[in-house]
Each structure stands twice: as structure tokens, then as C-alpha cells.
């Protein structure tokens, strides 16, 4: 049986790294903290992604806060998805507490209260710099996957994007896309079918319904200009500390489609624009996705495939993703297998289903000679967690029960006054919180339709004018003819001459017939 000395030796050896690292906490054995046996995380492997899991109230959010502030101190920027609204306190120092001092004494590290440089971002009406992207930046493939379109519908989206490109129609927001689809199936149908092929009206209608559904979740505020430059997520402050960007999402919990749309576009934009970095000693950016189940619960199969591909590829850009959720089962197995760092807080076994979930969760971690993993998962206290990471060679470190250090920043939200001050001091708010409504596809097509209707109206009025002229000329001709006839027949001399001519004509006719000659013989 392994002894305490064996345990300390295993942990000290397994968590000793060359290069920069951060201290997550102290190792525990048999419910007791082994002072000065520190659990470290090498910064160079955080681009291999990670998982923070555990039941409600076990300390997941505080673990996220610890990692973000320690990364900031090491010059690594991070992006935090603040679903519950309780992460903004990372901006100000902790007020301290005797229990914090006691915890750090047990771990064997000093406690120094400090805040981190914070930038507040927003997808909706929350305070902070606005996050936006244009429809064009999504591209037809990503946009189709986001809406879960079939092959026929995806082809129509591809045609719409190609038409917009050929005709120089900027697709900035959903209003532009809807207007373009309406145009291609009505006024511009003949032109579109000639150059790009026939588009089914029913398929276009199905796409329109998906777009309306997306708008119903507030996406019209996300699509537009100015577009957010993801390079602004990698900023450092004047002291060389990484900026902690916090996306406030407290009013987006009931709109998972918007959340998953934002995450997909953000990750795709990062992957597209960031250069290949190779093997860095620390990541360029770490993205924390809190309440990750909101992405995966509502994600389509196509969207999941896209996310899996991005998770696999984005690490070459020096970017790490850390998913935060209640149970590892919330993460698709193909993505879970890509996560190198795992911080597992306690799981609760209230039902038979819970016990099965705990048994399954225990199988996601390396075997340990020091713990009964499934049992210990239910015994972890608040602020404790099972930890395993990757060393610099990509090998899993020993699974260790860890007493986590306390956050150096405030473990509570900022006041309204503090938030207002952050927003007022933000250079990104000045950059992105301005209204830009330049001429785009909607306005161009509206003007085109207006001009077409005006031309059609002019042609119609011209036709009516010509018809009216024809009618007037015909009436005049009839009036002249009638007037001449009436004048002639109304003259007395003319009538008398007419009777004489008629009588003589009749006599001549009778003479021709021999009637007069016969009468003379009878006499």
C-alpha cells in the first residue's frame, strides 16, 4: 500500500515542469492537505483545452476565476462567458478573510489580494463593448450549419451569397439576407434562375422561418457593424498583464441559439485570423465557456461537427478552450477526448441515475493507487477537486485531490457604480458602441425595386396617355363625319336635288326595262 511519502513523491515528481506554470492548489491525501506539495499547471499545455465540472455549489466558478486571474498575471489574456453574472469581481482585489489565510497556510503559499484588468463585453443590452459580426463574415457554409439547413436549402444560401458578391450587395445583417431572399424569389427570380438555376419557393420559405426563429432570440443585435476584431481579445495592459474579457450573458440564458451562434462564429473567426503558432511556452488566449451544456443541448449535428473540428484545430493557433459544466457527460465524447486539463469538483449521488453518472465520470480519469475515484468524487468538499493535466510531453499527470487556492480577487459581483466606471474607461466601448448603418443589400435592393416600380408606373401612365389620345382622335373623326352628313341632309336645296336625281334615275331604270315602250303600244 502506498504511503504518504510515496504520495508526496509521486505528486512532486508528476507536477514539476520546466517553463512557466501556475499553482492551482495543494495535494490532499486521506482528507488532509499535504503542505508544500503543490499542484501546478504548465502554461504551455493549456492550448490542449480543459474541463471544469461539478455539481452546483461545489466551486466551479471560483476555479474559473482562479485560472483567469493567474493567467492574467502570467501575461495570458482570457475570455470568460459570464452566464450567471458573478465573474465581474475579478476586476477588484479580494477583501480577504481568516478562512482564506487558513486555506493558504495549509497549501503552503502566501495570499496576496489583487484585481485583474477587465474588459466588459456584451451581446445584448448589458453594459460593455458590443460584440457584432456581419452575415457575410459567417459565410454560406457556417451560416447553413448554424440554421441546420438541408443540402437543397444550403445550396440556396450559397447562391444568395454568390449573387450578393457578384452584384456587390453587402450582407451585413439578417434584414439584408431576408430582403435578398425575397428579391431572388420575386422581382429578381428570372435573372437569378438564368444565371444560377432554379430556386424552390418552399425551400426559401423554410430558410426564412429559420432566420425569423434566430431573430426571435435576439440575433438581430448580434449581426451588423462594426464587426468585433478578435485581435482585441489578446491585449495586455501597461504592466504586461493579460486583459480578462468578460462577456456578460445574464439575459441570454433562455436564448441558447444566440449563444451557440456567437460561440461558433467567434471560434471560427479566431481560427481564420490567428496565425499558426507552433509550440508556445504559454497560450495567446484562453476561452472559458461557462454553462457549456447550453451550446451542446441546442446544437445541431452539423454544428457539433463544426465545433469538434474547431476544437481539434484551434490549438495550433495558440488558443485554449476550457468548458465549464455540471457533468462531463454534458460534453460530447469526441470533444471530451480532446480536453487535456480536467478539474473535477464533487458530484452528488441522490438517485440511481446519479450513481451511474458518477461511475461513468470516474472512468474519464487516470487510474490512481491513492484514491477510490468514484467514492472520493462524492466526498470532495467545496473548493476541492480532482485534478489531472498534461505535462510538456503531452502525458497525463497523476490524478490528485486538490485543495484549491482562493481567488485573489473579489468573490462577488461589481456594484453598478464600479461597472459604470469600467465601461466609461473602456477604449473598446468607444470603438464598438457606435451606430453604423451604411448602405447594404437591403437599401440597395429597396432602391432598385423603387426605381423598377417607378419605371413600371411611367410605362403604365404612358400607355394610358396613348390610349386616351387614340380614343380622343376616334371621337373627333366620328364627330366630323356626323356633322357633315347632318349638314348635307338638313339643307332644303340638297334634299330637292336629291329627290330629282332619284326620280330621273328611276325613270331611266324603267326605260331600260322596256316598261315605257309597252305602255305606248297599248294606247
When pLDDT is averaged across residues 110-123 and rounded to a whole number, the result is 93
**Same domain as 237, residue 156:** no
CA nearest to 46, candidates 337, 279, 309, 266: 279
Range picked from 117-121, 167-171, 216-220, 290-294 for highest mean pLDDT: 117-121
- Residues 183, 164 within the same domain: yes
Mean pLDDT to the nearest integer, 504-509: 54
Tell me: do 257 and 178 sit in the same domain. no
Examine the domain organization and report whether 376 and 411 are in the same domain.
yes
Same domain? 421 vs 272: yes
* Domain's final residue, options 411, 432, 453: 432
Q: At 519, is the pLDDT very low, low, confident or very high (cuts 50, 70, 90)?
A: very low
User: Per-residue pLDDT averaged across 344-371, rounded?
Assistant: 84
Task: Clarify whether residues 15 and 80 are in a common domain.
Answer: yes
Task: Quickly state the pLDDT bin for 458 (edges 50, 70, 90).
Answer: low
Pinpoint the alpha helices (H) of 314-415.
Answer: 333-336, 352-362, 373-379
* Radius of gyration of the chain from its Cα atoms, rounded to whole angstroms: 41
pLDDT band at 148 (very low <50, low <70, confident <90, very high): confident
Let me know whether 443 and 523 are in one domain: no
CATH number at residue 281: 3.40.50.300
Same domain, 119 and 230: yes
Nearest-angstrom CA–CA distance, 90 and 407:
8
Give residue 355's pLDDT.
83
**What is the secondary structure of 456-485 as a DSSP string?**
HHHHHHHHHHHHHHHHHHHHHHHHHHHHHH
pTM above 0.75, yes or no: yes
Range of the domain at 229: 4-132+225-432
Contact status, residue 410 vs residue 400, Cβ threshold 8 Å: no
CA 249 – CA 387 distance, rounded (Å): 28
Mean pLDDT of 292-305: 75
% of the chain residues with pLDDT over 90: 36
Please state which of the ranges 72-81, 161-170, 192-201, 465-474 shows the lowest mean pLDDT: 465-474
Q: Which of 106-110, 146-150, 241-245, 401-405 has the lowest mean pLDDT?
A: 146-150
Determine the pLDDT at residue 290: 86
Q: What integer pLDDT is reported at residue 185 of this predicted model? A: 87
Q: For position 484, what pLDDT does the model report? A: 47
* Arithmetic mean of pLDDT, 206-222: 84
**422 burial level (CB within 10 Å; 0-12, 13-18, 19+):** buried
Are 22 and 59 contained in the same domain? yes
Question: Same domain, yes or no, for 255 and 383?
Answer: yes
* pLDDT the model gives residue 345: 94
Query: Using CA atoms, how far apart are residues 171 and 162, in angstroms rounded to an integer?
Result: 11
Closest to 288 in 3D by CA, of 127, 90, 65, 114: 65
- Across all residues in the chain, what is the average pLDDT? 83
Q: Spell out the residues 6+ positions from residue 22 whose beta carbon is closer than 8 angstroms to its own.
A: 40, 41, 43, 67, 70, 71, 74
State pLDDT tens for residues 38-62: 999 999 999 999 999 998 889 999 9
- Kindly compute the dihedral angle of the four CA atoms of residues 504, 509, 511, 514, in this order, to the nearest 10 degrees: -160
Kindly state whether residues 113 and 12 are assigned to the same domain. Answer: yes
Q: How far apart are CA 287 and CA 245, in angstroms?
A: 9
Do 128 and 247 share a domain, yes or no?
yes
Interhelix angle 151-166/189-196, nearest 10 degrees: 100
Q: Residue 17's pLDDT is what?
A: 87
Give pLDDT, residue 493. 55
- What total of structural domains would you count in the chain? 3
- Stated as kind and residue range, the H or E segment containing 40 is strand 32-42
- Return the top range by mean pLDDT from 319-328, 344-353, 431-440: 319-328
Which pLDDT tens digit goes with each residue over 459-494? Answer: 666 666 677 677 666 666 655 555 545 555 555 555
Amino acid at each position: 500500500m502506498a504511503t504518504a511519502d510515496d504520495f508526496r513523491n509521486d505528486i512532486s515528481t508528476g507536477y514539476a515542469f520546466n517553463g512557466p506554470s501556475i499553482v492551482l492548489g495543494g495535494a490532499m491525501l486521506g482528507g488532509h492537505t499535504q503542505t508544500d506539495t503543490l499542484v501546478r499547471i504548465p502554461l504551455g499545455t493549456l492550448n490542449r483545452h480543459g474541463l471544469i465540472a461539478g455539481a452546483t455549489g461545489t466551486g466551479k466558478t471560483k476555479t474559473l476565476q482562479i485560472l483567469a486571474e493567474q493567467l492574467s498575471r502570467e501575461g495570458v489574456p482570457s475570455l470568460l462567458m459570464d452566464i450567471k453574472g458573478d465573474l465581474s469581481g475579478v476586476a477588484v482585489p479580494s477583501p480577504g478573510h481568516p478562512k482564506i489565510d487558513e486555506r493558504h497556510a495549509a497549501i503552503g503559499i502566501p495570499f496576496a489580494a489583487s484585481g485583474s484588468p477587465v474588459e466588459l463585453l456584451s451581446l445584448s443590452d448589458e453594459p460593455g463593448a458590443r460584440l457584432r459580426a456581419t452575415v457575410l463574415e459567417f459565410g454560406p457554409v457556417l451560416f447553413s450549419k448554424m440554421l441546420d439547413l438541408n443540402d437543397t436549402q444550403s445550396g440556396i444560401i450559397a447562391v444568395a451569397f454568390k449573387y450578393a458578391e457578384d452584384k456587390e450587395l453587402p450582407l451585413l445583417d439578417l434584414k439584408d439576407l431576408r430582403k435578398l431572399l425575397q428579391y431572388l424569389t420575386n422581382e429578381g427570380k428570372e435573372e437569378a434562375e438564368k444565371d444560377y438555376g432554379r430556386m424552390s419557393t418552399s425551400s426559401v420559405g423554410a430558410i426564412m422561418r429559420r432566420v425569423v426563429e434566430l431573430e426571435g432570440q435576439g440575433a438581430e443585435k448580434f449581426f451588423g457593424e462594426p464587426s468585433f476584431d478578435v485581435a482585441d481579445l489578446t491585449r495586455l495592459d501597461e504592466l504586461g498583464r493579460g486583459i480578462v474579457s468578460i462577456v456578460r450573458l445574464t439575459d441570454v440564458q433562455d436564448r441558447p441559439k444566440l449563444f451557440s451562434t456567437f460561440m461558433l462564429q467567434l471560434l471560427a473567426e479566431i481560427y481564420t485570423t490567428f496565425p499558426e503558432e507552433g509550440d508556445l511556452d504559454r497560450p495567446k488566449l484562453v476561452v472559458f465557456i461557462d454553462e457549456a451544456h447550453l451550446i451542446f443541448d441546442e446544437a445541431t449535428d452539423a454544428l457539433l461537427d463544426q465545433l469538434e473540428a474547431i476544437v481539434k484545430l484551434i490549438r495550433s493557433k495558440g488558443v485554449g478552450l476550457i468548458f465549464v459544466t455540471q457533468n462531463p457527460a454534458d460534453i460530447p465524447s469526441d470533444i471530451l477526448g480532446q480536453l487535456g486539463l480536467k478539474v473535477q469538483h464533487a458530484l452528488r449521488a441522490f438517485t440511481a441515475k446519479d450513481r451511474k453518472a458518477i461511475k461513468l465520470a470516474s472512468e474519464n480519469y487516470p487510474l490512481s493507487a491513492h484514491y477510490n475515484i468514484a467514492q472520493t468524487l462524492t466526498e470532495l468538499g467545496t473548493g476541492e477537486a480532482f485534478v489531472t493535466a498534461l505535462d510538456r510531453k503531452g502525458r497525463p499527470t497523476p490524478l490528485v485531490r486538490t485543495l484549491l487556492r482562493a481567488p485573489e480577487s473579489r468573490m462577488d459581483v461589481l456594484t453598478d457604480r464600479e461597472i459604470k466606471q469600467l465601461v466609461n474607461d473602456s477604449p473598446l466601448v468607444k470603438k464598438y458602441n457606435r451606430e453604423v448603418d451604411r448602405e447594404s443589400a437591403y437599401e440597395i435592393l429597396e432602391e432598385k425595386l423603387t426605381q423598377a416600380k417607378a419605371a413600371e408606373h411611367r410605362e403604365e401612365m404612358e400607355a394610358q396617355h396613348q390610349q386616351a389620345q387614340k380614343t380622343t382622335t376616334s371621337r373627333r373623326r366620328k364627330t366630323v363625319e356626323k356633322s357633315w352628313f347632318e349638314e348635307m341632309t338638313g339643307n332644303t336645296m340638297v334634299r330637292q336635288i336629291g329627290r330629282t336625281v332619284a326620280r330621273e334615275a328611276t325613270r331611266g331604270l324603267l326605260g331600260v326595262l322596256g316598261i315605257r315602250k309597252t305602255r305606248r303600244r297599248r294606247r
